[in-house]
């Protein structure tokens, strides 16, 4: 390199020698050289910074796209069934038309789901003739199964189903889910509907098997973590078949205010004859005929377009209602349109479908909800049109909605309130009042009413405490400030006349007043532990909060699925009462053998009977009953249950979750020799454990919900 470099340098030197006396050129060249060098350096820095910014943007994009859903790899191509054909009635072998959908197309779709909202839109853009092939369903399924097994996996079941009344916001739900890159969402896809509706000659079990194979094929992407199907409204009467094929998959049935729904179908007067709800008018199903006859006393051929539309929609609603009523578990959920989008994102995805969302996923879903779901464009924004539809409804539409569709809507609305309360429990919030109408959701004077975030017209809900907000008085404050010195005074705690306490806050009222009688000290475990020991050793009551071991248990028990799994199907002691009062009572037995004691009687001479009885319930059975008891208008003289489980029956309570009570000497266990075990109580709203006397030292840990104690 040197030998070749040397002459070249000397050659340059010879070329510039004749100009070395030219001061003008000699002075200008170094300046030009420095300017050129600086410009090159700045250009290089610019491109380095630009590339760094691009890299950072790409990393942020990947992080956002894959928040809580895996590493930042791109989805691979996916062979998707787009159609089914059956050879003959005698030999109904299923052929499936497959489309090779690129991973890039799936990723782009998640960026703007409203541009291609329907299955037919997505396939129409990306599945030309060159991307299609036809094979037997059996062959395609075995190939996908083999490919999954090679990766150590199996073909997944769908994560959730969306059924709906028609024109009630189901596409909005599908688009919100599709906005999460790791969710695979098929909106009104043809193959499942074909298997459901167009194979009447197939035996029931064969139809189920076809359905399973087709839908598992459509969910076979290794990139996606959850697969959802939003069905056509026409499949709602056949939803029981879908649920039989996938008995563990949760589902929702979406419905809406009757007038608003009818106007969604009939808003264009010129196209009324082509409204989706009128497509079966020439050949009405028997169920539609029956619903109309029962509501009007007339024959179906006499029905006006609004009346027939209402009868058709009532048929869909009653079909879904019948399936929901048969469910023993909370797999099914009635979902009111007014819950979209906020409550769906916050509670239904996590609390019902069981999928934890990251912050980026929630942001994407809410962002997708801002676009008009069927606009097929990213520029058309969604606007709430509920009031506009109600204002535009004529008398015929209003009458049809009231007489034909309103009854099923009201029943579904009651069911939806209970289902949403259950979903909020599982996603970390206890709602103690449901079913309020917007008119009655007004805070009485002097009482607080914390409201959940109201999005899309959601109704306000009464609530006590969020799950996990332990040892709190919420927004209520004591009438008097509490003085808490290092050593408790002799007159601590202050006492108040019982009638003053109960008149300010009646025992049967679960709402929290603005002020309450309270004189107990509250200590922070991590900063005031010395005071805790001083008050404990003085045998004085107090409240301690911010205990790390307890906070961990609060996080665990906030997910009721955890408790359901740990407590299992075993039946536990549960007290049962015909009102909300649980009076303590004991058995009256002879103190000495052979000594006769007269039968215990009431003051009026009638035979005495215990105020409560004991039943054996599983935790899931109790929770089902407890959630039903969350109704705002539940009568206090109706059935109530009080569930109990001890550490002897469930050792994990002592050994894993409530180790503060495991018998070791600590703040909560002054004398381990007197340890009598741990009794965990799960109550219902309004349950009162009447005044009684405990002869032992008690330390109570409030893990969730809200409870008032009077000492």
- Alpha carbons 180 and 224: distance in angstroms, whole number: 10
pLDDT class for 609, splitting at 50, 70, 90?
Answer: confident
Q: Is 60 exceeded by the pLDDT of residue 400? A: yes
Structure tokens at 497: 């006349």
- Alpha carbons 558 and 428: distance in angstroms, whole number: 5
pTM higher than 0.85: no
Structure tokens at 33: 């050289």
The mean pLDDT of 215-244, rounded to a whole number, is 95
Burial-class residue 407 by CB neighbours within 10 Å (0-12, 13-18, 19+). Answer: middle
The per-residue pLDDT for range 301-326, each reduced to its tens digit, is: 999 999 999 999 999 999 999 999 98
Cβ-defined contacts of 127-135 (< 8 Å, 24+)? 127/80, 127/82, 127/99, 127/100, 127/101, 131/99, 131/100, 131/101, 132/82, 132/97, 132/98, 132/99, 133/97, 133/98, 133/100, 134/85, 134/95, 134/96, 134/97, 134/98, 135/95, 135/96, 135/98
Q: Is 50 exceeded by the pLDDT of residue 610? A: yes
Q: Is 90 exceeded by the pLDDT of residue 183? A: yes
**Whether 286 contacts 256, CB under 8 Å:** no
pLDDT class for 560, splitting at 50, 70, 90?
Answer: confident
Strand order of the sheet with strand 78-86? 78-86, 94-101, 132-136
**Residues above pLDDT 70, as percent of the chain:** 76
Structure tokens at 17: 């020698």
Lowest-confidence pick of 346-350, 519-523, 632-636: 632-636
Domain positions in the chain are 464-590+607-711
The per-residue pLDDT for range 247-281, each reduced to its tens digit, is: 999 999 999 999 999 999 987 644 555 788 999 99
**Whether 284 contacts 302, CB under 8 Å:** no
Give the pLDDT confidence score for residue 583 in this predicted structure: 83
Question: Which residues are CB-contacts of 636 (< 8 A; sequence separation ≥ 6)?
Answer: 508, 579, 580, 686
Count of helices and strands (H, E) across the chain = 23, 18
The mean pLDDT of 487-508, rounded to a whole number, is 89
The angle subtended at Cα 565 by Cα 561 and Cα 571, nearest 5°, is 115
- Residue 78 vs residue 423, higher pLDDT: 78
Q: Is 80 exceeded by the pLDDT of residue 438? A: no
Give the pLDDT confidence score for residue 10 in this predicted structure: 36
- Alpha carbons 411 and 549: distance in angstroms, whole number: 44
| Local structure of residue 683 (DSSP, 8 states) | -
**Whether 409 contacts 336, CB under 8 Å:** no
Give the pLDDT confidence score for residue 588 in this predicted structure: 55
Q: Would you give the distance in Å from CA 369 to the centre of its chain?
A: 16
Give the pLDDT confidence score for residue 472 in this predicted structure: 46
Give the pLDDT confidence score for residue 562 in this predicted structure: 87
Burial-class residue 83 by CB neighbours within 10 Å (0-12, 13-18, 19+). Answer: middle
**Whether 220 contacts 100, CB under 8 Å:** no
Give the pLDDT confidence score for residue 629 in this predicted structure: 67
- Alpha carbons 451 and 632: distance in angstroms, whole number: 15
Question: In a 3-state reduction of DSSP, which class is residue 700?
Answer: coil
Give the pLDDT confidence score for residue 689 in this predicted structure: 86
Phi, psi for 161 (deg, rounded to 5): -120, 145
Structure tokens at 212: 């399973």
- Alpha carbons 47 and 57: distance in angstroms, whole number: 15
Strands (E), 211-274: 226-230, 251-255
- Alpha carbons 592 and 583: distance in angstroms, whole number: 27
- Alpha carbons 521 and 518: distance in angstroms, whole number: 9
Give the pLDDT confidence score for residue 599 in this predicted structure: 60
The mean pLDDT of 558-573, rounded to a whole number, is 89
**Whether 288 contacts 280, CB under 8 Å:** yes
End-to-end, the C-alpha distance of the chain in Å comes to 96
State the DSSP H helix or E strand holding residue 300, giving kind and residue range, or none if neither: none
- Residue 608 vs residue 77, higher pLDDT: 77
Question: In a 3-state reduction of DSSP, which class is residue 46?
Answer: helix
- Alpha carbons 122 and 116: distance in angstroms, whole number: 6
**Whether 183 contacts 225, CB under 8 Å:** yes
The mean pLDDT of 80-102, rounded to a whole number, is 83
Q: Is 80 exceeded by the pLDDT of residue 378? A: no
**Whether 323 contacts 240, CB under 8 Å:** yes
Give the pLDDT confidence score for residue 13 in this predicted structure: 35
Mean pLDDT of all residues belonging to the chain:
80
Structure tokens at 293: 């006859």
**Whether 192 contacts 121, CB under 8 Å:** no
The per-residue pLDDT for range 100-127, each reduced to its tens digit, is: 999 889 888 888 899 999 999 999 999 9
Lowest-confidence pick of 129-143, 412-426, 461-475: 461-475
């Amino acid at each position: 390199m040197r030998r070749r470099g040397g002459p070249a340098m000397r050659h340059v030197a010879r070329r510039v020698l004749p100009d070395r006396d030219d001061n003008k050129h000699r002075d200008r060249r170094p300046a030009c050289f420095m300017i050129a060098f600086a410009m090159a350096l700045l250009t290089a820095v610019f491109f380095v910074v630009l590339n760094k910014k691009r890299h950072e943007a790409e990393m942020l994009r990947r992080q956002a796209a894959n928040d809580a859903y895996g590493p930042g790899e791109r989805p691979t191509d996916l062979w998707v069934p787009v159609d089914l054909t059956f050879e003959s009635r005698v030999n109904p072998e299923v052929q499936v038309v497959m489309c090779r959908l690129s991973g890039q197309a799936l990723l782009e779709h998640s960026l703007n789901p409203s541009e291609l909202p329907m299955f037919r839109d997505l396939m129409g853009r990306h599945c030309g003739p060159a991307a299609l092939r036809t094979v037997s369903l059996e062959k395609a399924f075995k190939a996908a199964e083999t490919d999954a097994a090679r990766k150590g996996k199996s073909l997944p079941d769908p994560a959730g189903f969306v059924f709906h009344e028609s024109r009630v916001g189901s596409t909005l739900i599908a688009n919100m889910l599709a906005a999460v890159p790791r969710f695979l969402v098929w909106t009104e896809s043809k193959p499942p509907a074909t298997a459901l509706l167009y194979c009447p000659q197939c035996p029931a079990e064969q139809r189920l098997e076809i359905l399973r194979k087709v839908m598992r094929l459509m969910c076979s992407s290794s990139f996606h973590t959850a697969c959802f199907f939003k069905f056509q409204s026409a499949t709602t009467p056949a939803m029981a078949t879908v649920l039989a094929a996938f008995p563990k998959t949760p589902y929702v049935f979406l419905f809406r205010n009757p007038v608003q729904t009818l106007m969604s179908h009939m808003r264009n007067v010129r196209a009324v004859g082509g409204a989706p709800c009128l497509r079966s008018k020439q050949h009405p199903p028997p169920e539609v005929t029956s619903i109309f006859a029962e509501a009007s006393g007339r024959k179906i051929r006499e029905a006006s377009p609004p009346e027939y539309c209402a009868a058709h929609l009532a048929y869909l609603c009653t079909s879904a209602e019948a399936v929901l009523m048969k469910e023993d578990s909370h797999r099914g959920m009635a979902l009111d349109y007014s819950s979209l989008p906020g409550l769906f994102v916050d509670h239904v995805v996590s609390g019902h479908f069981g999928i934890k969302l990251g912050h980026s996923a929630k942001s994407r879903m809410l962002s997708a909800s801002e676009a008009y779901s069927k606009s097929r464009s990213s520029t058309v924004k969604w606007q709430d049109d509920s009031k506009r539809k109600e204002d535009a409804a004529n008398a015929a539409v209003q009458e049809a909605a009231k007489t034909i569709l309103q009854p099923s809507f009201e029943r579904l609305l009651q069911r939806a309130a209970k289902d949403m309360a259950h979903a909020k429990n599982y996603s970390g919030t206890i709602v103690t009042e449901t079913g309020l109408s917007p008119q009655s959701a007004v805070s009485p004077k002097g009482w607080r009413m914390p409201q959940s975030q109201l999005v899309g017209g959601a109704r306000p809900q009464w609530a006590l405490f969020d799950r996990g907000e332990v040892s709190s008085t919420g927004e209520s404050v004591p009438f008097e400030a509490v003085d808490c010195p290092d050593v408790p005074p002799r007159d601590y705690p202050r006492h108040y006349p019982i009638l003053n306490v109960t008149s300010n806050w009646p025992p049967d009222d679960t709402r929290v007043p603005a002020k309450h009688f309270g004189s107990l000290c509250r200590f922070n475990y991590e900063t005031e532990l010395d005071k805790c020991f001083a008050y404990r050793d003085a045998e004085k009551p107090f409240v301690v909060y911010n205990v790390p071991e307890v906070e961990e248990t609060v996080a665990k028990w906030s997910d009721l699925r955890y408790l359901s799994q740990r407590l299992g199907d075993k039946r536990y002691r549960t007290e049962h009462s015909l009102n909300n009062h649980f009076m303590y009572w004991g058995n009256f037995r002879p103190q000495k053998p052979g000594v006769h004691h007269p039968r215990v009687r009431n003051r009026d001479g009638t035979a005495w009977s215990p105020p409560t009885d004991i039943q054996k319930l599983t935790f899931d059975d109790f929770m089902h009953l407890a959630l039903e008891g969350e109704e705002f208008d539940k009568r206090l003289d109706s059935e109530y249950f009080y569930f109990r489980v001890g550490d002897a029956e469930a050792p994990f309570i002592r050994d894993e979750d409530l180790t503060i009570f495991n018998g070791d000497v600590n703040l909560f266990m002054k004398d381990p020799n007197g340890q009598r075990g741990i009794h965990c109580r799960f109550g219902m709203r309004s349950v009162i454990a009447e005044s009684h006397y405990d002869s032992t030292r008690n330390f109570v840990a409030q893990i969730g919900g809200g409870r008032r104690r009077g000492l």
